[in-house]
């Protein structure tokens, strides 16, 4: 029996997680679901956003299904106690270095994008972001009095952008392998014209490419990639990039699809153990109202079945069911438009369950 650590978290987290779990249960798989608090909820109950018991559960599980964490009311807490530290702690403890963010624009939702429908109809791209290195974690960092620069003697803050060869090699392998399973096209995004880190990134990606001659590789500077994503997003297939560029580009790609409430994500270790979560946050503005879109979390559960539990057919049943409810015209408020039927979080989950139990698998 496979063990799943279920961590609903804060805000809309518990509401959307309840629907994802309902969907998993409808598949009648042999899964053991173990629940634990995380984020602000865990801070309230045990004084830390990632208590030892939650971490242990995650470490012992085959995969982690994560809702969302955070609330503005915790903004004044010292950094190490803020809810978002739970995600960073889990990534570090579980060795999750590869973040997969698909951006798929469902045919029925093309109008929800801020781009013209013809630019996004059928969009299906995958952004792979390195998660453990880069300027987010590089030392040294801090605040000090400047000894040089334009304003010696002034207060200054500094961070360090760093990447080592093995860090780049392992994410490059993941990206080439992912590209192989899709359309065999990979774009590596960097800023090699300005940054040493990016130059090493580019050199290593080119070296690793020698092992994947069947995959077409191109390189793009991050500023151009940001432009191309809104100009002609369908030109991309798989994109691989560092932590900071990936953070920004994956959010940009998410918005092309219209609603952040539709987008799943996966963060994987070297053995495909992973943490699966919606791309959005805890949405405190709509928490408790029963209107959040649960589909990103439901689709994250599908990614979990595919990547960590090796159950691609079960994953495909979820994906088909989501397509089916959209085709029926069911929409939560974030994706609602004239002529479609507005449903609550729970009604959307129920509809996916119904579609799973009544429709056949479209793809396997
Ligand atoms: P957010 O993603 O929570 O919300 C942005 C907007 O999108 C809001 O208007 C929200 O109502 C809407 N939205 C988000 N998910 C939705 C859904 N499933 N259905 C319908 N509408 C949805 O981002 P934010 O407001 O910047 O952050 C809120 C909190 O979430 C902050 O504390 C932030 O730190 C945290 N956060 C957590 C994660 C995570 O847990 N991985 C990620 C991002 C932000």
193 and 136 within one domain: yes
193 and 208 within one domain: yes
219 and 132 within one domain: yes
Distances in Å between the Cα of 2 and the Cα atoms of 196, 286, 304 are: 43, 33, 11
Strands 2-9, 31-35: pairing is parallel
232 and 324 within one domain: no
56 and 164 within one domain: no
Radius of gyration of the chain (CA): 21
256 and 331 within one domain: no
340 and 194 within one domain: no
Q: Residue 21 has which token pair?
A: 């779990």
Task: Give the whole-angstrom CA distance, residue 146 versus residue 185.
Answer: 45
126 and 248 within one domain: yes
Query: Among 262, 281, 302, where does a domain finish?
Result: 262
Residue 124 assigned ligand-binding role = no
Determine which residue's CA is closest to atom 36 belonging to ligand 1.
281
Query: Among 205, 235, 262, where does a domain finish?
Result: 262
Domain count, the chain: 2
Please say whether the beta carbons of 97 and 275 come within 8 A: no
- List the CATH number of the domain containing 133: 3.40.718.10
210 and 131 within one domain: yes
pTM: predicted TM-score of the whole model, two decimal places: 0.89
Task: Give the whole-angstrom CA distance, residue 296 versus residue 335.
Answer: 12
CA of residue 84 to ligand 1 center, whole Å: 12
Q: Which residue from 230, 241, 228, 216 is spatially nearest to 98, judged by alpha carbons?
A: 241
Mean pLDDT across 294-301: 98
**What does the pLDDT look like over 83-141, one tens digit per residue?**
999 999 999 899 999 999 999 998 888 888 889 989 999 899 999 999 999 998 899 99
Query: Among 233, 262, 291, where does a domain finish?
Result: 262
User: What phi and psi values does residue 4 have, to the nearest 5 degrees?
Assistant: -115, 130
Among the listed residues 124, 221, 234, 251, the single catalytic one is 251
Extended beta strands in the chain, E state: 2-9, 31-35, 63-68, 98-104, 124-130, 142-145, 155-158, 185-190, 216-221, 238-241, 264-268, 274-278, 330-331, 341-342
**What does the pLDDT look like over 42-98, one tens digit per residue?**
999 999 999 999 999 999 999 999 999 999 999 899 989 999 999 999 998 999 999
Q: Is 247 a catalytic site residue?
A: yes
Ligand 1: which atom is nearest the Cα of residue 280?
2
Range of the domain at 317: 1-97+269-364
Among the listed residues 28, 203, 223, 313, the single catalytic one is 223
224 and 119 within one domain: yes
110 and 36 within one domain: no
Q: Is 77 exposed, middle or buried (0-12, 13-18, 19+ CB in 10 A)?
A: middle
Task: Give the whole-angstrom CA distance, residue 27 versus residue 304.
Answer: 14
Three-state SS for 301? helix
253 and 180 within one domain: yes
Residue 337 assigned ligand-binding role = no
CA atoms within 13 A on the CB side of 73: 11
Q: How far apart are the first and last CA of the chain?
A: 22
**Mean pLDDT in the chain?**
94
Ligand 1 lining (C-beta closer than 6 Å): 12, 16, 68-71, 84, 87, 260-261, 277, 280-286, 292-293, 296, 334
């Amino acid at each position: 029996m496979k063990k799943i650590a279920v961590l609903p978290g804060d805000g809309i987290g518990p509401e959307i997680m309840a629907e994802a779990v309902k969907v998993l249960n409808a598949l009648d798989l042999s899964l053991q679901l173990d629940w634990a608090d995380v984020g602000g909820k865990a801070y309230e109950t045990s004084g830390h956003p990632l208590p030892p018991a939650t971490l242990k559960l995650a470490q012992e599980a085959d995969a982690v299904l994560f809702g969302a964490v955070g609330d503005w009311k915790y903004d004044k807490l010292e950094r190490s106690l803020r809810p978002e530290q739970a995600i960073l702690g889990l990534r570090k403890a579980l060795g999750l270095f590869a973040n997969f963010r698909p951006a798929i624009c469902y045919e029925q939702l093309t109008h929800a994008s801020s781009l013209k429908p013809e630019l996004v109809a059928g969009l299906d791209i995958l952004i792979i972001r390195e998660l453990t290195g880069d300027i987010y974690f590089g030392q040294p960092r801090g605040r000090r009095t400047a000894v040089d620069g334009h304003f010696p003697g002034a207060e200054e803050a500094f961070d360090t952008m760093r990447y080592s060869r093995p860090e780049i090699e392992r994410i490059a392998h993941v990206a080439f392998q992912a590209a192989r399973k899709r359309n065999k096209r990979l774009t590596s995004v960097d800023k090699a014209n300005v940054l040493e880190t990016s130059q090493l990134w580019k050199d290593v990606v080119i070296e690793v490419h020698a092992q994947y001659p069947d995959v077409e590789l191109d390189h793009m500077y991050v500023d151009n990639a940001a432009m191309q994503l809104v100009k002609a997003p369908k030109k991309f297939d798989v994109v691989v990039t560092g932590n900071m560029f990936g953070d920004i580009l994956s959010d940009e790609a998410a918005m092309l699809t219209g609603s952040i409430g539709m987008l799943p994500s996966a963060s994987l270790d070297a053995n495909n153990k992973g943490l699966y979560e919606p791309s959005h946050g805890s949405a405190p503005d709509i928490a408790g109202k029963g209107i959040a879109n649960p589909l990103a979390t439901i689709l994250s559960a599908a990614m979990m079945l595919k990547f960590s539990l090796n159950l691609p057919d079960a994953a495909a049943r979820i994906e088909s069911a989501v397509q089916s409810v959209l085709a029926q015209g069911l929409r939560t408020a974030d994706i609602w438009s004239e002529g479609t039927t507005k449903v609550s979080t729970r009604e959307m989950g129920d509809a996916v369950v119904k579609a799973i139990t009544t429709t056949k698998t479209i793809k396997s």
